[in-house]
Amino acid sequence: MVERAVSTSISTQAANLAFGKYNALYAATKPDNRSHVLQVNSIVDFDPQDPETYANGIKMIREGIPHALVRMDIDFTNACNNNCPDCFARGLREGYPGEIPYSRAENLTADLKHLGCDCVRMTGGGDPLKHPDFTDLVGLLGSNFRTLVETNGDYLCKPGYTEAIAHSAHRIRFSVDAGDNKTRSLTHRPEDSSHTYDQLVRNIDLLRKKADSITDRDSGLLIGASFIYGPQNYRLVGKFLEDMANIGVNWVQVKPALIKGKHIDDQEIVTTVLEQIEQIRSQQLKGFILHLPDRVSFDPGKEMVKCWTTQLRGFVLANSLLSICNLVRNLEVPFAKIGNVGDEDHPVQNLLFSDQGRSQINTVQQTAPKGCRYCIDKVTNITLQNMADVLTIDPDAKFQRAQVTQGENNILEGDDSNVIKITLNPKDHQTFSEGSITEF
């Protein structure tokens, strides 16, 4: 397929058909009229994967495959050195203590490779850096998959950890949520008083320098940091942003805390946060991108046609329970639990493609779009539905992340930092009409 100019009116019509019913996501025409842009709330939910991987998964599902495993999230341990007051996994740690041994991780790796899985995210009810075999685990995963690590970062100073991540991980996200030591102690409540904000900043700085010194990797390490703001820390967003820029973080994410199923919408808090962001933006800081997820898109009344993530991603908890729903960590969706991953050959494949697995996937698809109280993947699902709608119009459409040039004033709320570029095949666009969109 050749990417070339097409009629503006025709390509705009096609894009409007695909995206019109989602007001949190929209299409815009590029100046050269060659392609369209799908605005997503946070592209970091897909990093470091190529959006085309998800498009291929959607095609497989439409061909009848019950589960096209694109990414597996694995809770390697429920151990954590923090006691965050709003932690979603606190009940999980109490109900499902444990960790996945390295031998089982090796077996899982072989099965996931056999299934064509592209990415593994080390995350979960605890902190993956607390696993006794962490350095071996990240090396194993990094040599077989695009590997994401999510951590509070306190244990990065342990011998060998910085080197292991710099050499093997593809993306790491630090949960920071503070701008000074006092606030960090309130938002994370670390067990060890030496685990401070200042120490975390030093840890990230050392990792950035180590990663930059490695020249024998095909792709470098993306370093991100998140700040969930609430009443205790909202005045320190600006300090956090400035500190992260100074130590070479690639991207940051700022979003409101979720309290009792709803995001904070206190006008004073939100206004103060936005004022700090604008002040930092005016300083022309270099080098990283800011993502502000759209709070509106978490509106439980917003239409979600299909729960795509339950057929494109999987979750293995520290007790080896396999699920197809992210909220299994909150113990809210028992029907999404498929079974326990053991040490036999192809444990994930056997569970997902069993009669029980197929039945439970169907149950989720019938229940999730209408019955979920809150979904951490809802924004992702809407994005994936938009991709599916484009593929209905043009099965040969190509998806790629828009390239962002590092440089002056690259702290962006959206623009090219937050988009997936879509190239539509110009052939037969004139034949599309309002009836061309099919719900799947």
Torsion 61-62-64-66 (CA) sign: positive
In terms of Cα–Cα distance, which of 420, 419, 411, 330 is closest to 377? 330
The answer to whether position 144 is within a domain reads yes
Q: Which tokens belong to 220?
A: 């470098």
- On the 0-12 / 13-18 / 19+ scale of CB atoms within 10 A, 9 is exposed
Residue type, 418: N
The answer to whether position 407 is within a domain reads yes
Say whether both 83 and 50 belong to one domain: no
- pLDDT band at 37; cut points 50, 70, 90: very low
Say whether both 106 and 128 belong to one domain: yes
Say whether both 276 and 416 belong to one domain: no
pLDDT score for 344: 81
- Residue 359 DSSP SS3: helix
Residue type, 175: S
Contacts of 317 (CB under 8 A, 6+ apart): 75, 92, 96, 124, 125, 323, 328, 329
The percent of residues above 70 in pLDDT, for the chain, comes to 67
Query: Which of left, alpha, beta for 33 (phi over 0: left; psi -120 to 50: alpha)?
Result: left
Q: What is the pLDDT of residues 39-93, one digit of tens each?
A: 444 556 677 788 889 999 999 999 988 899 999 999 999 888 888 887 766 655 6
pLDDT score for 85: 82
pLDDT score for 422: 62
| For residues 346-358, average pLDDT | 89
In terms of Cα–Cα distance, which of 411, 382, 231 is closest to 294? 382
The residue among 171 and 26 whose pLDDT is bigger is 171
Domain of 234, in residue numbers: 66-298
Say whether both 12 and 124 belong to one domain: no
The answer to whether position 404 is within a domain reads yes
- In DSSP terms, 321 is beta-bridged to 340
CATH code assigned at 83:
3.20.20.70
Choose one of 279, 298, 317: the last residue of a domain.
298
Q: Which tokens belong to 48?
A: 């470091």
The answer to whether position 391 is within a domain reads yes
Q: Where are the beta strands (DSSP E) in 78-179?
A: 119-123, 146-151, 171-175
Q: Is the pLDDT of residue 401 over 80?
A: no
- pLDDT band at 94; cut points 50, 70, 90: low
Q: Is the pLDDT of residue 151 over 60?
A: yes
Choose one of 298, 331, 347: the last residue of a domain.
298
Q: Is the pLDDT of residue 403 over 90?
A: no
Q: Where are the beta strands (DSSP E) in 163-274?
A: 171-175, 222-229, 251-256, 258-259, 262-263
Q: Is the pLDDT of residue 181 over 50?
A: yes
The answer to whether position 128 is within a domain reads yes
4-18, 109-123, 283-297: least confidently modelled range: 4-18
What's the CA gap between 374 and 300, in Å, rounded?
6
Say whether both 86 and 55 belong to one domain: no
Q: What is the pLDDT of residues 248-291, one digit of tens each?
A: 888 888 888 866 556 667 788 888 988 888 887 777 565 556 66
Torsion 249-295-71-36 (CA) sign: negative
DSSP per residue over 250-286, as a string?
A: SEEEEEEPEETTEE---HHHHHHHHHHHHHHHTTT--
Say whether both 54 and 145 belong to one domain: no
Q: Which tokens belong to 148?
A: 């994401």
Choose one of 298, 319, 340: the last residue of a domain.
298
For residue 324, the 8-state DSSP code is S
What is the tally of structural domains in the chain? 2
Say whether both 201 and 81 belong to one domain: yes
pLDDT score for 369: 56
| For residues 335-346, average pLDDT | 82
Q: Is the pLDDT of residue 28 over 60?
A: no
| For residues 337-347, average pLDDT | 84
Say whether both 124 and 257 belong to one domain: yes
pLDDT score for 377: 66
Residues of 146-182 as b/e, b for ≥16 C-beta within 10 angstroms?
Answer: bbbbbbbbbbbeeeebbebbbbbbbbbbbbbbbbeee
| For residues 131-159, average pLDDT | 95
The residue among 255 and 430 whose pLDDT is bigger is 255
Q: Which tokens belong to 264?
A: 């904070």
The percent of residues above 90 in pLDDT, for the chain, comes to 35
Contacts of 20 (CB under 8 A, 6+ apart): none
pLDDT score for 41: 44
The residue among 33 and 398 whose pLDDT is bigger is 398
Helical spans, DSSP H, in 20-48: none
The residue among 373 and 185 whose pLDDT is bigger is 185
Q: What is the pLDDT of residues 158-178, one digit of tens each?
A: 999 999 999 999 999 999 999
| For residues 404-421, average pLDDT | 42
The answer to whether position 173 is within a domain reads yes
Say whether both 47 and 107 belong to one domain: no
- CA distance to 13, 21, 261, 319, 437, per residue, from 27 (Å): 10, 11, 29, 42, 16
Say whether both 126 and 27 belong to one domain: no
Select, from the ranges 72-81, 375-384, 392-401, the one with the highest average predicted confidence (pLDDT): 72-81
- pLDDT band at 17; cut points 50, 70, 90: very low
Q: Which tokens belong to 39?
A: 């605005």
pLDDT score for 373: 52
The answer to whether position 400 is within a domain reads yes
pLDDT score for 291: 61
Q: Is the pLDDT of residue 421 over 80?
A: no
Residue with tokens 């498009």: 55
97-106, 129-138, 303-312, 428-437: least confidently modelled range: 428-437
Residue type, 195: H
Say whether both 190 and 261 belong to one domain: yes
Residue with tokens 């949520």: 177
What's the CA gap between 250 and 255, in Å, rounded?
17
pLDDT score for 166: 96
Summary mean pLDDT of the chain: 75
pLDDT score for 137: 97
pLDDT score for 404: 44
1-15, 39-53, 119-133, 261-275: least confidently modelled range: 1-15
Could you tell me the end-to-end alpha-carbon distance of the chain, in angstroms, rounded to an integer?
Answer: 25
- pLDDT band at 431; cut points 50, 70, 90: very low
Say whether both 159 and 211 belong to one domain: yes
